[in-house]
Structure 1
Amino acid sequence: MSGTGKRRSQKERSAETSTRLMNATIDLLHDRGLARTTTPEIARQAGVSRGALTHHFTTREAIISVSVADMLSKTTRDLHRFAEDFIARGGSSDEIVDYIWQMMDDRLFYVTMEYLPEARHNPDFRADLIPTVRDFHAGLDAIWTALAARTGVDPDHTRIVMNATMCLVRGMISQTVLRPNDPAYYQEMLAFWKQQVRQQFPIEAASAQDSRRKAGTR
């Protein structure tokens, strides 16, 4: 029973079990890798029986596919919330770069590196993920389109900047596998890239120069 004494419905209990299984799957993908994310380990991590797992997800591929889609859906909702806030207060391109780095570095791209090879070789798995990945990129597009509208920059050019930013961040996070615990190294690259991005949005660049001049006269 819940804290209020109300008995949970079968639907609620089923949803809770599914959530525990999906969270356990993402934890294992991040902490131990795809090869070690087996159904017995997922059940153990989630604290449920293997029978409960197979009741909700008939195959290992199914639970991994659904879990990754769930993770991306949550991230996409966060992207849209950030976009709404960004539009309301008129955020900067620096904030976008920082947000993307934090988002991707917070397990998201490490998990992505685990399932991408499988998506490359498994067309059914890839097909399951493509709609959710498209939604994720629509969330990114909402943020950068807002910046383009405010600064008067062509949206297509802005998407090139967006995709270049994503490629840079993916490469940086991949490098952390063999070069961990060196935050200064990555922050220097982020600072360099923020400067490059600012130059693509003249209003942003002019505002940054004004801020530096004002700081120098204090």
Structure 2
Amino acid sequence: MVEVGFKATTTTEVAHRAGVSLGALLHHFPTKADLLTGAVAHSFGRRIEDYGLLMADLDPGADRLDAAIDLLWSMYARPTFTAWHELWVAARTDPDLAAPMIELDRQFMMASERVYAELFPTTENAQGKLDMEIGLHLVYALLAGLSTSQSIPGYEPLRTSEILDTFKAMLRVHLGATTRSPSGGR
């Protein structure tokens, strides 16, 4: 799907590339929507697991906010985002794809909230409690927008590093002390 797009991705071609019979593929994934949302869900699950492990292995003196945003951004540069974006756009006009994509998005956000709560426990700051759900949606919306703007190979209309640095500075002001690592580093 990343190579040829949603429309040109067929179950027959996927079965051929996977080296399985079309019957075997259709036994596990009766529709194209089932197959593609299942693949993206599996990939998202792996990305969430990878993210949690990489963040847990950070040097205790590392800046957790910088690491969190930089790691997320690196994941948006992978084919998983491209596949998700292809499906999301297709779901706009395909009701059979819309429902599983909405459910996939909800599951991904719930898993993200669990990881975020472990990595950045909610604390009181000058503005009251940080709303984790809104914060995550804000981060993901920014990263999705940046990634989408670069989806045409060789075209980068925005200065991504400057936008991410500015966003980190804004988050730092809002979050205050919540970005400190457990050992007290920044």
CA contact (8 A) 1:79 1:139 kept: no
Superposition deviation, residue 39 in structure 1: 1.8
Q: Residue 154 of structure 2: SS of its match in structure 1?
A: coil
Q: CA separation in 1, counterparts of 2:77 and 2:109?
A: 17
Gaps of 5+ in 1: 1-28, 212-218
2:50 corresponds to which of 67, 73, 78:
78
Superposition deviation, residue 60 in structure 1: 2.3
Q: CA separation in 2, counterparts of 1:157 and 1:72?
A: 23
Identify the residue that residue 138 of structure 2 maps to in structure 1. 164
> Does the alignment pair 1:173 with 2:155?
no
2:94 corresponds to which of 88, 108, 122:
122
CA contact (8 A) 2:92 2:98 kept: yes
Mapping of residues 1-218 of structure 1, within 5 Å: 29-82=1-54, 85=56, 89=60, 92-146=64-118, 148-149=120-121, 152-153=124-125, 154-178=128-152, 180=154, 182=156, 185-203=159-177
Q: CA separation in 2, counterparts of 1:86 and 1:47?
A: 37
Q: Residue 6 of structure 2: SS of its match in structure 1?
A: coil
CA contact (8 A) 2:149 2:156 kept: no
Superposition deviation, residue 174 in structure 1: 0.6
Q: Answer with 1 or 2: which has the greater Rg.
A: 1
CA contact (8 A) 2:124 2:130 kept: no
Q: Which has the higher helix share?
A: 1
CA contact (8 A) 1:30 1:111 kept: yes
RMSD: 3.4
Q: CA separation in 2, counterparts of 1:64 and 1:159?
A: 26
Identify the residue that residue 24 of structure 1 maps to in structure 2. none
TM-score calculated relative to the size of structure 2: 0.76
TM-score calculated relative to the size of structure 1: 0.66
CA contact (8 A) 2:64 2:179 kept: no
Q: CA separation in 2, counterparts of 1:99 and 1:131?
A: 25
Gaps of 5+ in 2: none
Single out whichever of 35-44 and 159-168 deviates more from structure 2: 159-168
Single out whichever of 58-67 and 92-101 deviates more from structure 2: 58-67
Percent identity over the alignment?
26
Q: Residue 9 of structure 2: SS of its match in structure 1?
A: coil
Aligned residues: 179
Identify the residue that residue 26 of structure 1 maps to in structure 2. none
CA contact (8 A) 1:39 1:60 kept: yes
Single out whichever of 169-178 and 139-148 deviates more from structure 2: 139-148
**In 2 relative to 1, CA 202–53 (structure 1 residues): closer, same or farther, beyond 3 Å?**
closer
**In 2 relative to 1, CA 179–125 (structure 1 residues): closer, same or farther, beyond 3 Å?**
closer
